[in-house]
Amino acid sequence: MTRTRRRSTSLRTVLSALIVTGACATAGFVPAATATAQPPASDGVLAAMQHDFGLTRDQAEARLATEKAAGATERQARRAAGSAYAGSWFTARDGRLTVALTDGAKADAVRATGAAVRLVDRTARQLDAAKARIDDLKAPAGVASWRVDWRTNSVAVDVVANRQDDNDVNDFLAKARRAGGALKVDLTVGTTDHAPGTLAAGTVGGDPFYTGNVRCSIGFSVQGGFVTAGHCGGAGQGVSGWDGSYVGNIQGSSFPDNDYAWVNVGSGWWTVPVVLGWGTVSDQLVRGSAEAPIGASICRSGSTSHWHCGTVLAKNETVNYSQGAVHQMTKTNVCAEPGDSGGSFISGDQAQGVTSGGWGNCSSGGETWYQPINEILSRYGLTLHTA
């Protein structure tokens, strides 16, 4: 369904159902009743993975199947590791999930789940506690973000390259190094060429949703509405759809600290469990919200840049926007552009989160963060609309 056809009056009812689902696209909407077996993703998702990752169709299908299995393995391995758990990550090259442990006595039980094991010094709980103390610090503009890096068993801080010699940046880093206390958690400092920013935009043409003169993208349908980014508007604000008609109101919103919101729908609008393809790819059914591991493939689309794929780079990262820090974000190397805010991140047919911000663009590349969907559902007591 192309944009031109979507503008026709005869398709208004179908559009109303689809647009509430999401201002970002993935792939093929095929009624479940016509399928004899569920593919790992629609043709549109597979085509995008072939383009963005340089894979054949068979390789894309195999990777999605391996990533789905890795997600299930991670949940089993975490239970087997217990308090010795120190993080996990997926490596596409060998299709292996690695679990970090602080107790070698747990290694055999974890390996029995199918995961590889790496022994480290600090548990995930200890690293998270150190990061939480850094979250309490006031970060200067020259500090882009910080996170727990499970691969290095450390807390990693990214500094804007041309600000790394600033006194306030070095003062922040000195305080961050002391955040581990007696545990002496390692602090890994990296650089980025760009400071992160949110991805809302002034009103322009397209099929997004609007709050005043701000354009954003719809994320995922929930029962009674949809979720999106919090910086797109505050609680109580009215929301209009692609055609200017009234959709509903923002029922809850948080930004900064978090970056999520949800909107109720009415006035002839309703929800369906798909992510819209914008005529670039077919629409994708949403079947759940199982969390993809670090290293897994992930795809995003929004009302500006449409459909792009990449990899999950990190979780539980704190991003330091000019408006304030936002916590518990997931970092990807998927590009995004202004107007994509709030749009869907999806792995296969599993919802992952809503687009928050990033740096770069879809011509030269960049990085983008999303707020995980399960946190949003839990915060507002919402139920994801699934097929």
Mean per-residue pLDDT of the chain: 85
51 is catalytic: no
| Alpha carbon distances (Å) from 161 to 9, 103, 141, 165 | 51, 37, 12, 9
For residue 309, the tally of other CB atoms under 10 A from its CB is 24
Q: Is residue 325 predicted with pLDDT exceeding 70?
A: yes
Confidence of residue 267 (pLDDT cuts 50, 70, 90): confident
* Span 73-126, pLDDT tens digits: 999 999 999 999 999 999 999 999 999 999 999 999 999 999 999 999 999 999
Per-residue pLDDT band for 62 (boundaries 50, 70, 90) equals very high
pLDDT at 21: 30
Assess contact for 316 and 206: CB atoms under 8 A: no
334-368 pLDDT, tens digit per residue, is: 999 999 999 999 998 999 999 999 999 999 999 99
pLDDT exceeds cutoff 70 at 6 = no
pLDDT band at 272 (very low <50, low <70, confident <90, very high): confident
Place 200 in a pLDDT band, splitting at 50, 70 and 90.
low
CA distances in angstroms from 237 to 211, 240, 247, 263, 378, listed in the order given: 7, 10, 11, 9, 22
Q: State the pLDDT at residue 2.
A: 34
Residue 36 above 50 pLDDT?
no
Confidence bin at 40 (pLDDT 50/70/90):
confident
What's the length of the chain? 387
Q: Is 341 a catalytic residue?
A: yes
Between the alpha carbon of residue 312 and those of residues 45, 59, 305, 322, 336, the distances in Å are: 16, 18, 19, 24, 14
Residue 256 is predicted with a pLDDT of: 96
Mean pLDDT value across residues 182-200: 81
Average pLDDT over residues 63-81: 95
Q: What is the pLDDT at residue 243?
A: 79
Q: Rounded to 5 degrees, what are φ and ψ at 302?
A: -150, 180
**Please, what is the Cα angle at 385 between 384 and 387, to 5 degrees?**
125
Which of 42, 154, 217, 231 is an active site residue? 231
| Burial 272-294, CB ≥16 within 10 A → b, else e | bbbbbbbebbbbbbbbebbbbbb
> Residue 5 pLDDT more than 80?
no
Q: Is the dihedral of CA 342, 347, 352, 358 positive or negative?
A: negative
pLDDT tens digits for 307-323? Answer: 889 999 999 999 999 99
pLDDT of residue 245: 86
Q: What is the DSSP letter of 44?
A: H
Global pTM exceeds 0.85:
no
Structure confidence at residue 279 as a pLDDT band (50, 70, 90): low
11 pLDDT band, cuts 50/70/90, is very low
Q: Which residue has the higher pLDDT, 72 or 33?
A: 72
Amino acid 207: pLDDT: 59
State yes or no: pLDDT of 288 exceeds 50. yes
- Would the pLDDT of 257 be above 70? yes
Query: Mind giving me the DSSP string for 158-190?
Result: EEEGGGTT-HHHHHHHHHHHTTTGGG---EEEE
> What is the spatial distance between Cα 203 and Cα 187, in angstroms, rounded to a whole number?
42
- Position 278 scores a pLDDT of 61
Token digits of residue 264? 């109720």
pLDDT at 383 over 80: yes
Q: Which of 158, 259, 283, 340 is catalytic?
A: 259
Confidence of residue 22 (pLDDT cuts 50, 70, 90): very low
Weakest-pLDDT range from 181-190, 279-288, 325-334, 359-368:
279-288
At residue 230, the 3 state secondary structure works out as helix
Respond yes or no: is residue 322 known to be catalytic. Answer: no
> 81-85, 97-101, 165-169, 375-379: lowest mean pLDDT where?
165-169
Query: What is the band of 276 on the pLDDT scale with cuts at 50, 70, 90?
Result: confident
Q: Which of 145, 221, 303, 341 is catalytic?
A: 341
